[in-house]
Amino acid sequence: MLKYKNKIILAVTTAVFGILIFATALWTGNNGCGEESNVICTSNGKFEVEILENHARMLSQDGKTESIYMPGEEKKIFDYCISSITNTLDDKLLIITGDSDEYYGNELQVIGISPDGEICKELTKSMKDMNPHDINTSDVDGDGIFEISITMYKKTRFHPVMAERPYIYYWSEDSINPMWRGSRLSRPFSEYLFYDLDGDKREELIAIEYLENGSQLLNAYSWKGFGFESTAYSTAYDEITGLKKRVDKSGASRLLAQIDVDGKAEWIEVEHGEEGVLKLHGEK
Ligand SMILES: [Ca+2]
Ligand SMILES: [Ca+2]
């Protein structure tokens, strides 16, 4: 009897787990770090990850090891990313945490998986007064190792106004090290992501920026050894309300931007046109 009971519990748990993962994907709006954004792949095996605001739970694929990470009392997870950040294929779980009643996070946690399948905290880095809120990874310089990109809402010494700012770090000697603190793009922006639009196997930083008159455009930046340089941009739109990567079943990916089409918000494919031009699909 107990055996069947356990089977039922397992089935229910699996179903709940599936729903939670689905809910998680909705909540994060898909971080798009890996092909399988809720699986941590390590040399010690694959682990399914369920991440909600107050915990991350990892389950080995044979179901034998379960390990739970909690950000702490009255703290929550603001954003996360699963990615390798070294020259190995071992994924880590990168988490922005902070006080649960705040709008922005204040800490970075880097979490790995030990050989026995347990969660191990590899780094806790305070980002107090930096207001981190978005984390992602990309191989910015094309050396085969992913860098960490964190968006902060803060002032800088040379630009003392509160603004969204991208920071890029690389992982070395068990910690993060600044690779780019340029902290400004050409214009103020609402969001950005990394995507290889021109097909040269290097991802560009693609941002939704504001023009002075309030309209918006897409601006693509390429890494030029010491920083990002704008290499292509779109025409201006009244409003660009979102940017996302969509991967279809065959593994092919597309970049989509959300714009207003005849009074309706629609996701439109972004393409690289002739030199320096980003086209939204269907555009003349
Ligand atoms: Ca790199
Ligand atoms: Ca590229």
55-75 average pLDDT score: 91
Q: Say whether pLDDT at 226 is over 90.
A: no
CA–centroid distance, residue 224 to ligand 2 (Å): 12
CA–centroid distance, residue 116 to ligand 1 (Å): 29
Q: How confident is the model at residue 20 (pLDDT cuts 50, 70, 90)?
A: very low
Q: Return the percentage of the chain with pLDDT > 70, whole number.
A: 86
pLDDT of residue 32: 37
Q: Say whether pLDDT at 266 is over 90.
A: yes
Average pLDDT value over all residues in the chain? 87
For residue 191, what are the β-bridge partners?
208
CA–centroid distance, residue 3 to ligand 2 (Å): 54
Instruction: Give pTM, 2 decimals.
Output: 0.84
CA–centroid distance, residue 7 to ligand 2 (Å): 48
CA–centroid distance, residue 100 to ligand 1 (Å): 33
- The mean-pLDDT minimum among 29-33, 151-155, 172-176 falls in 29-33
Residue 201: nearest ligand to its CA? Answer: 2
pLDDT of residue 28: 38
3-state secondary structure the chain: CHHHHHHHHHHHHHHHHHHHHHHHHHHHCCCCCCCCCCEEEECCEEEEEEEECCEEEEEECCCCCEEEECCCCCEEEEEEEEEECCCCCCEEEEEEEEECCCCCCCEEEEEEECCCCCEEEEEEEECCCCCEEEEEEECCCCCCCCEEEEEEEEEECCEEEEEEEEEEEEEECCEEEEEECCCCCCCCEEEEEEECCCCCCCCEEEEEEECCCCCEEEEEEEECCCCEEEEEECCCECCEEEEEEEECCCCCEEEEEEEEECCEEEEEEEEECCCCEEEECCCC
pLDDT of residue 170: 97
Q: How confident is the model at residue 282 (pLDDT cuts 50, 70, 90)?
A: low
74-92 average pLDDT score: 95
Task: Give the pLDDT confidence of 167-202 residue by residue, as tens digits.
Answer: 999 999 999 999 998 778 999 999 999 999 988 889
243-249 average pLDDT score: 92
Q: Say whether pLDDT at 214 is over 70.
A: yes
Q: Return the percentage of the chain with pLDDT > 90, whole number.
A: 68
- The mean-pLDDT minimum among 28-37, 65-74, 138-147 falls in 28-37
pLDDT of residue 275: 85
